[in-house]
Amino acid sequence: MSERLAGKVALVTGGGNGVGKAVALSLAEHGASVVVNDLGTTEQAEGGSRGAADLTVDEISRAGGKAVASYDSIATPEGVANAVKIAIDTFGPVDIVVACAGALFPGDLSATDETWHRFIDLFLSQKFFLARATVPGMAERGWGRFITVTSEGARGTLGNPIFAAAMGGVISLTKAIANDYKAHGVTANSFNPAAATRLYHATIASWEHKHAAGEITDEMWEAIKVGPGPASYVAPMVTWLTTDAAAQTTGQVFTIGGGNVARWSSYEEDKTIYRGDHRTTPEWTLDELDQVVPNGLGGLA
């Protein structure tokens, strides 16, 4: 064990399996006291069990670390409040949050209102509830790390519009927290995990179906079959983001997996068409835009 996170209290959601578990183990290995939150559902968010969280806690304890379980649903503000209370009552105020919890939902445009709200609550509202319950306290104490899981789906490349909306929202939420609290010793970052977790394996059949239907390329299907590395390869970079060494790293999005760490580009204006300001020139006409948009902005196809 190292002591780089000694005295810090971490809350990890989805800590009973996959990336969440790997992160919880890594934080504990480096000295943090960890609240392992996991509702213990299936990949499709059905049922519930204490077993997943308990196994991670047991593993940390056997290795000489400090951990306690939370079985709360962090898709609700009440569940988040109770998980934070467990942390405070057991170890003290929360210094580190890593929000990993997720599940598989169908999220196309035929989804019901109920599915929409359930999806958004688990993937996006979770992060807001966690931030509201922990980040102001971090700022008052002058130190904190808030880390959220996003996905390649934020780019819209995986279809599933509800998932894309939630994951894009996570990035924007996290960047705004980073901006608001950067002067208070609190950092906020997001990561897209590339790992062969149970959720990854549960999607293989659907990707095979998409390949057979011609919806994804042979190249993409071959890459999916090969698969990413284990979840343990994601944990070191996430842990590094919680250390003092990462004090200046905030508002960033990373893809982490299989030995690779890649930083995403930021939202920014990259090309402009200009005809003067509103005081000296008339509005664009559609005929003018027919010409200048493809030529001046490009890459719109």
The tens digit of pLDDT for each residue in 129-167 reads: 999 999 999 999 999 999 999 988 898 877 789 989 999
Do 34 and 183 lie in one domain? The reply is yes
Domain count, the chain: 2
Q: Is residue 214 part of a domain?
A: no
Give the separation between CA 177 and CA 198, rounded to whole angstroms.
Answer: 30
Do 103 and 155 lie in one domain? The reply is yes
pLDDT of 225 higher than 70: no
Do 295 and 251 lie in one domain? The reply is no
Give the β-pairing of 253-257 and 260-263. Answer: antiparallel
How many CB atoms lie under 10 A from the CB of residue 118?
Answer: 17
Q: In the predicted model, what is the mean pLDDT of residues 240-263?
A: 96
Query: Closest Cα to residue 258, out of 232, 287, 224, 288?
Result: 232
CATH of the domain at 13: 3.40.50.720
- Please tell me the predicted confidence (pLDDT) of residue 200: 57
Q: Is residue 210 part of a domain?
A: no
Do 117 and 161 lie in one domain? The reply is yes
Please give the residue range of the domain that contains residue 187: 9-195+230-263
Q: What percent of the chain has pLDDT over 70?
A: 86
Higher pLDDT, 185 or 195: 185
Separation in Å, CA 216 to CA 127, 150, 157, 240 = 31, 22, 10, 35
Q: Is residue 238 part of a domain?
A: yes
Confidence of residue 40 (pLDDT cuts 50, 70, 90): confident
- Please tell me the predicted confidence (pLDDT) of residue 42: 53
Do 248 and 115 lie in one domain? The reply is yes
Q: Is residue 202 part of a domain?
A: no
Do 111 and 158 lie in one domain? The reply is yes
Q: In this structure, what DSSP letter does residue 47 have?
A: S
pLDDT tens column, 28-37: 999 999 999 9
C-alpha 161 chain-centroid distance: 17
